[in-house]
Amino acid sequence: MMGGCTRSQGRTDQITVSGSTTILPIAEQAAELFSEKNPTASVLVSGLGSSAGIEAVSAGTAQIGTSSRDLKEEEMPLGLFDTPIAYDGIAVIVSPENPVSDLTVEQLQNVFAGVITNWSELGGEDRRIELVNRDEASGTREAFKKIVMGDVPFDPRAAVLPGTGQVRDVVARAPGAVGYISLGFVEPRFTNVTVKALQVDGVTPSEKTVGDQTYPIGRRLHFLTKGKPSGLAKAYIDFVLSDTIQQGVVVDAGFIPVAEGGAQ
């Protein structure tokens, strides 16, 4: 506490950024780099969940609220200004040996609900579908659930793995397996094990199709401010939208940068 007090002497400005845990890594690293560049500014970042972030920014306890979901109908009148800072696409992955390459959202829902249990029902080989799910703490699971599953519960018999890397690794080597991971992790990075990303509703997942929202399993990551951003909040948001963060932190975190001039 004492250290914090003395260090903040001479700092003219401080903002609080709070909300989505999905966005937390981006916001945090951006805040660190931002403070390095602007030693007089301090950006406090916390992750409480998207709804809490929206609540905080509209109540004025945070200058920027972060959210990994779009605003709901009833949140529209809050007068929040929306700046998308990145896209997140979720790829449905199978083993490269699997001949199935295109599913609809409805088929995916039935697969992950445990209604469709054999690949032959989807135009593939006669092979049991081995479901790979994520743990309930996962933001990817949350997004997949919201977009694909709706109110339909996941099949509880699915294997539940605690990390993107594990899902990728397991699916890559099991011919009957299907799982989902953030689009940024489909291409091999530290391994030569490959997985195949399925088309969904005929659309191949890519930075472009997630960006223009033709690929159905995608979401935007938002920074929300009360009215147009100004002052330090604007400086911080501009910094997050700069190439330094977009091509560095955002890409590293497995997300897709917003197109140039993404600020609306």
Partner 1 sequence: MSENNEHHSAGTLQLVSRSTYMKENLLKAVFFMCAFVFVLAVALIFIFVGWKAMPIVTEYGLGKFITGTVWSSSTGQFGILPLIVGSFIVTLGALALGTPLAVGTAVFLSDVASPKVRSFVRPAVELLAGVPSVVYGFFGIILLRAIVAEFSGTLGFGAFTAWIVLAIMIVPTIAVLSEDALRSIPEGIREASYAMGATQWQTIYKVVVPAAKIGIIDAIILGMGRAIGESMAVLMVVGNAPVFPAGIFAPLSTMTTQIVMDMPYAVGLHRTALFAMAAMLFIFSMFLVATVRLLSRLRD
d(CA 213, CA 257): 13
x-marked contacts with partner 1 along 46-85 as a string, rule CB under 8 A = ----------------------------------------
Nearer to partner 1, 42 or 164 (CB): 164
Applying CB under 8 A, the span of 27-35, 161-169, 185-193, 195-203 interacting with partner 1 comes to: 161-169
CB of 218 closer than 8 Å to CB of 91: no
- Collect all residues with Cβ–Cβ distance below 8 Å to 53 and sequence separation of at least 6: 18, 19, 20, 62, 65, 66, 67, 224
- From candidates 32, 70, 136, 187, binder to partner 1 by CB under 8 A: 136
By CB under 8 A, residue 135 contacts partner 1: yes
- From candidates 79, 96, 123, 153, binder to partner 1 by CB under 8 A: 153
By CB under 8 A, residue 173 contacts partner 1: yes
Applying CB under 8 A, the span of 76-84, 174-182, 199-207, 224-232 interacting with partner 1 comes to: 174-182
- From candidates 113, 116, 152, 160, binder to partner 1 by CB under 8 A: 160
By CB under 8 A, residue 116 contacts partner 1: no
Label residue 117 exposed, middle or buried (CB < 10 Å: 0-12, 13-18, 19+): middle
By CB under 8 A, residue 174 contacts partner 1: yes
Q: Which two tokens stand for residue 205?
A: 């997942």
